[in-house]
Amino acid sequence: MWIQNQYGCVKIITITLCSLIAFVWITESPVMGIDTVPIGNPGNFGELSGAGAGGAGPDRICGGVDYEYNIGKYEVTAGQYTEFLNAVAATDTYELYSTDMWNDPWGYACKIQRNGTSGSYTYSVESDWANRPVNYISWGDAARFANWLHNGQPTGPQDLTTTEDGSYFLNGAMNNTELIVITREDDATWVIPSEDEWYKAAFYEPQGGTGIYWDYPIGTDVVPSNDLVDPDPGNNATFYDGDLTIGSPYYRTEVGAHEHSNSPYETFDQGGNVWEWNEAVLFNNYRGRRGGSFDQTSWYLFAPNRQEHAWPTVQHHAIGFRVVEIPGQGTPCPGDLTGDDQVNIDDIFAVLGLWGDCPDPCPPYCTGDLTEDCTVNIDDIFAILGQWGPCE
């Protein structure tokens, strides 16, 4: 049929708009919420961390950030990661799932199970583990999760529209040599924390204008205890202190379980539970991790300790992550082709008016090519429908 609008007559060849919208409503995955807390006080000074500050590892001034951002209030949970896998890992091209997540040799699994065969994999998590931090996460896995958030949590194969581009241009990067050189893109919106972003949220005291940093991510210079009690009296974390905070079968506490042991910015578990990746590169070959874990001592919660690092491909029982959101970055509404701060029927007409191959050379991609496949086609209408509504 033919449709007349401000862009002229355009033919929709085989599918009506109503059927397209109905299809998207049926297939679009629900949006997963990430609880974040705002980190203000831009322009704060950093402080020395490393061996020269009484800790370990190379010296560096850490914690100074000259912009506002939001950081995950909690570590990413096994339940949240399961949603991610179900959205993009029916065919797990880049090994976002580890079989150790279900049954590892030490009994530390986060109990995410994969069923089916490649091309139709599905994932589930046992309910008692769903709100505990996910583990067996490589740095590359965390970057792909961040890309998925940046791209609006789409459903589909692991490609440039879901996990391979967005906040980080991965494009299939899998080995240590490839992953160590990956950097945050200028328009990134959801990211792995930089070391400064992570450090500030954990240790900086924003109240009173003092600009001090605490030694532990609980707003204290006193070594915490590893007790799990209800109600939580404060200054507790999940780590090893002669015994584990909790033992088999969980080992990791539910996120936020130490409900009065938060950082001054109201984050939880930046000390203990699982190590958390950051963007730092240490010793030229390793990605940084901070915060200690359920099976390490309080020494690893200590702010000056920045010796801990791992190959970016490592998937380990004591490593997970949290994410940062950079508000106002990038193009908040890439589907808003008409510039009216909302994605609606006019943008579908705009796509139809741009129908066809992008000019050579491509890339750079042309206007309307939202899926970056060098052609404006039906996939871009699906992309429009997936972003339907007001811009954020």
pLDDT digits (tens, 9 = 90+) for 37-72: 999 999 999 999 999 999 999 999 999 999 999 999
Asked if the bond preceding 332 is cis, omega within 30° of 0, the reply is: no
Mean pLDDT, rounded, for 190-216: 94
pLDDT at 384: 86
The secondary structure element, H or E, covering residue 342 is: strand 342-343
**Domain boundaries 35-330, CATH class:** alpha beta
Phi/psi of residue 198, nearest 5 degrees: -65, -45
pLDDT at 29: 37
pLDDT at 7: 34
pLDDT per position as a tens digit, 315-364: 999 999 999 999 876 445 778 776 555 788 888 988 898 888 877 766 65
pLDDT at 363: 65
Phi/psi of residue 4, nearest 5 degrees: -105, 130
Does residue 256 carry a pLDDT above 80?
Answer: yes
Mean pLDDT, rounded, for 244-251: 97
Phi-psi group of 119: left, alpha or beta (phi > 0 → left; psi -120 to 50 → alpha; rest → beta): left
* Domains of the chain by residue range: 2-30+337-390, 35-330
pLDDT per position as a tens digit, 94-146: 999 999 999 999 999 999 999 999 999 999 999 999 999 999 999 999 999 99
pLDDT at 20: 43
Mean model confidence pLDDT for the chain = 89
Burial class (CB within 10 angstroms; exposed 0-12, middle 13-18, buried 19+) of 383: buried
pLDDT at 12: 36
> Radius of gyration over alpha carbons of the chain, in Å?
23
Phi-psi group of 211: left, alpha or beta (phi > 0 → left; psi -120 to 50 → alpha; rest → beta): left
